[in-house]
């Protein structure tokens, strides 16, 4: 048997060998740090036996999958600690994730003190150097084992597997056994640095109709220094958490009696959303050829039956009325597309009228699970830059490219272009009832979107089961400060729905033809975008987006009149400006303006009033010196007009 190693060298063995045995044969040092193996590109357990020629890599903590194996083992150590400290707790699942690991547990909520206790117990388990072994059982024996251990969630997982499945388990030491496919370390001693971060509620299998569990999040690294750096990083990102920072900056709030997922945008947050909205509307209408519509916030169930949403999306809608009792049942709209189809149908269109691009600032309503609500990123009422482009089939490719170009332009202007990833969201062929159209339809439309991404040169991932029920999507994804991914902008190709609404255009031969429809956003959800901007800039927004762009600071009341004159000049030119008339020392006013993350402060005193100047201090460069009022007005107006993202210079003032 020939085993080709990562460096190209070849090892020959007469009989079969496990990955761990080969690592030991290479060097004992490698065996000590080995976490897993990769055979012909597939990650495997160290216990995996090799019986034929292959390519093999020994994965260590410096490899992504090696570190993931450490974290997966840490999740099992946590589970064992839970069973030691809280014997009545029931275990659900405990995978490794990008930032560490978690374990879902049926138990009362865990306090910080509980997590500290579990950490100490984990330390004992690691110090005991429990050997980790793997064994397999037939399905029925596996069920019996987990029933004997009184682990109902494990039993349910096994029962969902085929009857002829062979089930794998890992055992730590003498007592702890967990259902798992692996891979895992050879011993608990391989965990060098770990920390339990937090706990929260989670639904079993993500279903709000199922049991509420407690999810303990943790992380693990190979070195204590790496863990320490990560914990410092966590403290830093907490400062950027939009749910915390947005409230501190008085951008938004929530109120229990109003309801979960229904945030209140406060005046400053409202001002920012207004700026974004006006920009997007002007951009779409004046530069990208959109017509603007305004459609109702609700409709009869009849409309949603035609569109298919009643059959495919009803559970996510707010329904007003009872179908069995009321003559008419209404629902708040979860999307605008069926409304805009009737705008298109209002007048007959010819092939010359296409593409027909409809844009709307749409307020939508979606009945999200209560466990999913979070700040501005997951809400039940939100506003979106929604649009639907009705195109001839021969125009679809170019129009899809235009929609993607617009989205990239918007991201670039906001300074967010480097913070996104692209995803081709496809149907799930194993769940055909969820979707319109046949296999050929989906393969054709998915290939069209794939080609757009390839031609644009954008790296992307493909995801089954993430498409809309009527067509595939290009989803532009971003992660929040905690690593959770959300869809920010979406572009969807729909070649089926026009039939439902009898939408057509007259071609050059005078015949009726069905158009294609592109569902798209240019910015996406304004609330989610505001959250994204808060975290991206830590509240230090580009000047054009700031709700307060300039604050004028008179040194004393004697210069209040001049401060008001400067304010009026700036306000006439569209700058958001205030005057700080408080009877405080100028140093206090400057510090307060800096704490409020203001782009510009203009200090005015005797010299400035007599010379018609201002003393400019900025968030970007600290003290910028004396400048004529007209000159500063011209400069800031250009910065706002061009939407410049000015970089901060490191000075003693703004370190």
Contacts of 332 (CB under 8 A, 6+ apart): 297, 298, 317, 318, 320, 365
Give yes or no for residue 371 having a pLDDT over 90.
no
Backbone torsion region of residue 597, taken as left when φ is above 0, otherwise alpha when ψ lies between -120 and 50, otherwise beta: left
Do residues 168 and 181 lie in contact, with contact meaning Cβ atoms separated by under 8 Å? yes
Using DSSP, state whether 421 is helix, strand or coil: strand
User: pLDDT tens digits, residue range 413-460?
Assistant: 999 999 999 999 999 888 888 888 888 889 999 999 999 999 989 999
d(CA 502, CA 63): 55
- The Cα–Cα gap between 496 and 444 comes to 12
**pLDDT at 378 > cutoff 80:** yes
Categorize the per-residue pLDDT at 653 as very low, low, confident or very high, splitting at 50, 70 and 90. Answer: low
pLDDT one-digit tens code per residue, 245-259: 999 999 999 999 999
72 is in an annotated binding site: no
Distance CA 32, CA 30 (A): 5
Write down the pLDDT at residue 650: 53
Q: Which pLDDT score is estimated for 651?
A: 57
Query: What residue ranges in 86-131 does DSSP mark as E strands?
Result: 90-91, 96-97, 100-106
The CATH number for 256-297+333-537, chosen from 3.30.930.10, 3.40.50.720, 1.10.287.3240, 1.10.1060.10, is 3.30.930.10
Query: What are the beta bridge partners of residue 17?
Result: 50
Every domain of the chain and the residues it spans: 2-60, 65-228, 256-297+333-537, 301-332, 543-642
- How many of the other CB atoms lie within 10 Å of CB of 22? 21
What percent of the chain is modeled with pLDDT above 90? 81
The pLDDT tens digits for 487-519 are 999 999 998 889 999 999 999 999 999 999 999
Six-digit token string for 209: 């109709």
What's domain 543-642's architecture? 3-Layer(aba) Sandwich (3.40)
Q: Give the residue among 640, 639, 643, 603 at the shortest CA–CA distance from 623.
A: 603
Q: What is the pLDDT of residue 648?
A: 81
Reduce the secondary structure of 182-202 to three states and give it as a string.
CCCCCEHHHCCEEEEEEEEEE
Which residues does residue 286 pair with via DSSP β-bridges, in sequence order? none
Nearest to 338 by CA among 401, 382, 292, 386: 386
Topology of 2-60 in CATH? Ubiquitin-like (UB roll) (3.10.20)
**Residues composing the chain:** 655
107 is an annotated ligand-binding site residue: no
**Do residues 102 and 91 make contact, with C-beta atoms less than 8 angstroms apart?**
no
pLDDT one-digit tens code per residue, 533-570? 999 999 999 999 999 999 999 999 999 999 999 999 99
Residue 309 in marked binding region: no
Cα 73 to Cα 133: distance, rounded to the nearest angstrom: 12
Between 374 and 157, name the one with better pLDDT.
Answer: 157
| C-alpha–C-alpha distance, residues 335 and 517, integer Å | 14
Q: How far does CA 225 lie from the centroid of its chain? A: 28
**Which tokens go with 573?**
């030119």
Give the chain's radius of gyration (CA, Å). Answer: 30
Which of 217, 205, 212 is closest to 106 using CA atoms? 212
Among residues 76, 81, 80, 106, the alpha carbon closest in space to that of 201 is found at 106
Q: For residue 238, what pLDDT band results from cuts at 50, 70 and 90?
A: confident
The CA distance from 282 to 288, in Å, is 9
Token pair 């790296």 in the structure block, residue: 459
Determine the Cα–Cα distance for residues 81 and 302; give it in Å rounded to an integer: 55
Phi and psi at 650, nearest 5°, equal -80, 115
In tens, the pLDDT along 166-222 reads 899 999 998 899 999 999 999 999 999 999 999 988 889 887 788 999 999 999 999
Measured in whole angstroms, the distance separating CA 605 from the mean position of its chain's CA atoms is 48
Given pLDDT bands bounded at 50, 70 and 90, which one contains residue 230? very high
Give per-residue pLDDT as tens, 71-94: 999 999 999 999 999 999 999 999
pLDDT tens, position by position, 49-63: 999 999 999 999 999
Residue-by-residue DSSP string for 298-355: EEEHHHHHHHTHHHHTGGGS-EES-TTT-SS-EEE-S-SHHHHHHHHHTS--BGGG-S
Tokens of 177: 């056994």
Element (H, E) at 120: helix 112-127
539: left (phi over 0), alpha (psi -120 to 50) or beta: left
pLDDT band at 165 (very low <50, low <70, confident <90, very high): confident
- Bridge partners (DSSP) listed for residue 299: 331
Question: Mean pLDDT of all residues in the chain?
Answer: 93
- Cβ distance 101 to 71 under 8 Å? yes
Indicate if the pLDDT at residue 478 is higher than 80: yes
Taking the C-alpha atoms of residue 125 and residue 103, their distance in angstroms, rounded to an integer, is: 17
Cβ contact 206:104 at 8 Å: no
The Cα–Cα gap between 76 and 64 comes to: 19
Is residue 99 over pLDDT 60?
yes
How confident is the model at residue 652, as a pLDDT?
A: 58
In whole angstroms, give the CA distance from residue 598 to residue 550. Answer: 7
CATH of 65-228, one of 3.40.50.1220, 3.30.980.10, 3.40.190.10, 3.40.47.10: 3.30.980.10
Q: Give the least confident one: 44-48, 484-488, 506-510.
A: 484-488
Backbone angles phi, psi at 2, to 5 degrees: -105, 125
Cβ–Cβ < 8 Å for 301, 333: no
């Amino acid at each position: 048997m020939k085993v080709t190693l990562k460096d190209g060298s070849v090892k020959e063995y007469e009989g079969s060998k496990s990955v761990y045995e080969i690592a030991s044969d290479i060097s004992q040092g490698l065996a000590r740090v080995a976490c897993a193996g990769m055979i012909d590109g597939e990650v495997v357990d160290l216990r995996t036996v090799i019986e034929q020629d292959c390519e093999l890599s020994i994965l260590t903590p410096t490899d992504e999958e090696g570190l993931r194996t450490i974290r997966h083992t840490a999740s099992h150590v946590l589970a064992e600690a839970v069973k030691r400290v809280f014997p009545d707790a029931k275990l659900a699942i405990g995978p490794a994730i990008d930032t560490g690991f978690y374990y879902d547990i049926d138990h009362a909520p865990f306090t910080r003190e509980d997590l500290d206790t579990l950490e100490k117990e984990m330390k004992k388990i690691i110090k005991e150097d429990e050997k980790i072994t793997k064994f397999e059982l037939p399905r029925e024996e596996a069920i019996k084992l987990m029933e004997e251990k009184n682990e109902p969630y494990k039993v349910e997982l096994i029962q969902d597997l085929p009857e002829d499945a062979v089930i794998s388990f890992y055992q730590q030491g003498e007592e702890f056994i967990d259902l798992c496919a692996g891979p895992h370390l050879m011993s608990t001693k391989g965990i060098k640095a770990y920390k339990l971060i937090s706990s929260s509620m989670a639904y079993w299998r993500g279903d709000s109709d199922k049991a509420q569990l407690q999810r303990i999040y943790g992380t693990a690294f190979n070195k204590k220094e790496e863990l320490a750096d990560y914990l410092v990083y966590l403290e830093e990102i907490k400062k950027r958490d939009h749910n915390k920072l947005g409230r501190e900056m008085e951008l938004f709030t929530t109120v229990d009696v109003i309801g979960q997922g229904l945030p209140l945008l406060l005046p400053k947050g409202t001002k920012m959303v207004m700026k974004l909205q006006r920009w997007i509307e002007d951009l779409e209408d004046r530069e990208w050829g959109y017509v603007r519509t305004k459609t109702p916030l609700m409709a009869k169930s009849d409309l949603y039956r035609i569109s298919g949403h009643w059959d495919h999306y009803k559970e996510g809608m707010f329904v007003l009325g009872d179908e069995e009792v009321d003559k008419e049942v209404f629902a708040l709209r979860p999307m605008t597309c069926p409304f805009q189809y009737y705008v298109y149908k209002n007048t007959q269109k010819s092939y010359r009228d296409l593409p027909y691009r409809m844009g709307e600032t749409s307020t939508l309503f979606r009945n999200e699970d209560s466990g999913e609500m979070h700040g501005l990123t997951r809400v039940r009422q939100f506003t979106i830059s929604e649009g639907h482009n009705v195109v001839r089939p021969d125009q679809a490719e170019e129009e899809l490219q235009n929609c993607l170009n617009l989205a990239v332009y918007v991201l670039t202007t906001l300074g967010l272009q480097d913070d996104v990833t692209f995803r081709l969201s496809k149907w799930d062929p194993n769940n055909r009832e969820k979707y319109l159209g046949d296999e050929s339809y989906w393969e054709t439309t998915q290939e069209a979107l794939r080609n757009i991404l390839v031609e644009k040169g954008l790296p992307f991932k493909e995801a089954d089961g993430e498409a809309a029920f009527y067509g595939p999507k290009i989803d532009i994804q971003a992660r929040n400060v905690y690593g959770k991914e959300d869809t920010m902008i979406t572009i969807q190709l729909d070649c089926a729905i026009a039939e439902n609404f009898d939408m057509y255009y007259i071609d050059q031969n005078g015949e009726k033809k069905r158009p294609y429809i592109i569902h798209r956003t240019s910015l996406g959800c304004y609330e989610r975008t505001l959250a994204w901007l808060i975290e991206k800039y830590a509240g230090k927004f580009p000047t054009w987006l700031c709700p307060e762009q300039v604050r004028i600071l008179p040194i004393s009341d004697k210069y209040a009149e001049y401060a008001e004159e400067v304010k009026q000049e700036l306000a006439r030119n569209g700058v958001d400006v205030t005057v700080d008339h408080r009877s405080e020392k100028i140093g206090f006013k400057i510090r307060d303006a800096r704490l409020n993350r203001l782009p510009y402060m203009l200090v005015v005193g005797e010299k400035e009033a007599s010379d018609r100047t201002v003393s400019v201090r900025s968030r970007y460069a600290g003290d910028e010196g004396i400048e004529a009022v007209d000159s500063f007005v011209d400069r800031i107006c250009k910065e706002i007009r061009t939407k410049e993202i000015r970089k901060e210079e490191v000075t003693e003032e703004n370190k």
